[in-house]
Structure 1
């Protein structure tokens, strides 16, 4: 009976070194989150004494119970959620509508090279912070959700990524659609968008994370604290335990609560939405980046 040969490669020292390096990088990414969770679940005395590293000391839910009573936190959370929905939706729409015609060749879209030059120019050069603020102010968008959405409505990097992905699609798809009587809109909605899901999911993830994590625009464009998005609210946290409570139970809870624990709990809660969204888009991420960034 003939033996079946198996081609197995022996692991080398380089393989072990690379595996060790990847494990260390993974631990370096997880460690801050783990420490934040441990601090949020630890007792005040342990946190203030610097005894908490990666395991909660004197486990308690006081920080999270305090968050449930914080109306400002939930108001900021709602502002960020509204910003993500509007911002990511508008960016998706404008990115597709701009990338689709630019994916055509110069023969199909006359003046394409002029538009490309203009787009690349805006990506490399900006007017500066003060002109940007003055434009937003002159449009009357200060202290409104649109100030957080409209100024970044056309992310040029995302447009180029989707454009290159569409340009790499087989020409036979477009030719067959034209033969069947499809017009430009039908071609976009029924063929290009379904086929370009990896690239579109990737840029959507970029948009969601960028809008959710940004605190600077809220700090500059919002003068009223009730209009702050969540990250701006978190950034503004200093020692803010409300000691004006009249309820004895709440005073007792505040006495047991460290500001470090409370802030750590709020930071961890802000991470949860991204952690929930990311796994659903992860499978498109590498594919969309690879095919959308190689060619022009």
Structure 2
């Protein structure tokens, strides 16, 4: 019996090949990030000479010190945190409140098909950049945090994912709840939302990453640098290096700093929050996006 169990668990050539493939994929995914970190910690001459691969050459913190040497960085970081909290929160509420009625059939929600066509239409067609900007300006949101939050408050793709997830839940749950006297709000808050945690965690991750990584809206909608979110601030950091700087100490710092090192440092700094958040939501990701993408 023991010999049979040993044979049953013996690794085959296919297992070794699969493990080797997974290790290779892991290395391919990690290598660019590792290379970026090495460049950000290397001296200008080594970076410009192409000597940096996966280990820092002439280790230095100059690139990170340049990012952190004034309060603008921390202000931009706080604005991005506020943007993510408000943006992801508003998108979560709107996604749930729109996906729930759209998950009902036409008999339960009259006009459902009309609303679905309107939603799909907004995915396929847009008014363009200039009308988009003029609408936001006419609403008086320029240079405010709401300009970064309200224009993307209705995430159509996320709504469709959650809607399809809810439609795939057993109909017997809803029928049993109605028989017991539950209303629509009770059904949503006590049954549907707890069961839809994988889908909601997935779309929340999409919202967080989208708001955190976006720099273009801050560049267009913020005319004052002190209102820039972090991504916009870092994007402008290299562009706005003051070449007329008269302070000899700062000139010496700029002479030691490579644009490649600075770009690598800003890339690494901006991915740290996502790396922190992702492990907590990753276990829901595959399950949520798979079930949410299946149409009944």
**Match for 2:13 among 8, 11, 14?**
11
Count of aligned residue pairs for this structure pair = 293
**In structure 2, do the counterparts of structure 1 residues 135 and 113 end up closer, same or farther at CA, with 3 Å as the change threshold?**
same
What is the CA RMSD across the aligned residues, in angstroms? Answer: 2.5
Distance 1:176 1:247, change over 3 A: farther
TM-score (norm 1): 0.89
Q: What's the offset of the Cα at 1:135?
A: 1.3
Closer/same/farther in 2, CA of residues 235 and 195 from structure 1, 3 Å limit: same
Where 2:151 maps in the other structure, the secondary structure is coil
Give the 5 Å matches for 1:1-296.
4=4, 6-7=7-8, 10-12=12-14, 16=17, 23-238=23-238, 240=241, 244=245, 253-296=253-296
Whether the 8 Å contact between 1:142 and 1:221 is mirrored in structure 2 is yes
- Contact 1:144 / 1:227 at 8 angstroms: preserved in 2? yes
Partner of 1:4: helix, strand, or coil?
helix
Cα distance, 1:246–1:129 mapped onto 2, change above 3 Å = closer
Q: Output one character per residue of 1:17-62: Cα deviation in whole Å (capped at 9) or x when no partner.
A: x666655544333222111110111123222322112110112223
Q: CA–CA distance in 2 between the matches of 1:208 and 1:69?
A: 27
Taking the aligned partners of 2:126 and 2:146, their CA distance within structure 1 comes to 20
5+ residue gaps, structure 2, are none
Query: How far 1:258 sits from its partner (Å)?
Result: 3.1
CA distances 1:57-96 after superposition (whole Å, capped 9, x unpaired): 1122233333332322222212211111110000000000
Shift in alpha-carbon separation, 1:187–1:46, aligned structure 2, 3 A = same
* CA shift in 2, pair 1:108/1:60, >3 Å: same
Structure (1/2) with the larger helix percentage: 2
Which piece of structure 1 moves more, 121-130 or 259-268? 259-268
Tell me, which stretches of 5 or more residues in structure 1 are unaligned? none
More divergent stretch after superposition (114-123 vs 41-50): 41-50
Deviations 1:191-223 (A, max 9, x none): 111110000000000000011111111122222
Q: What do the CA deviations read for 1:87-111 (whole angstroms, capped 9, x no partner)?
A: 0000000000000111111111111
Moved more, 232-241 or 140-149: 232-241
Identify which range, 231-240 or 174-183, moves more after superposition.
231-240
- TM normalised by structure 2 equals 0.89
* TM-aligned CA deviation for residue 3 of structure 1: 5.7
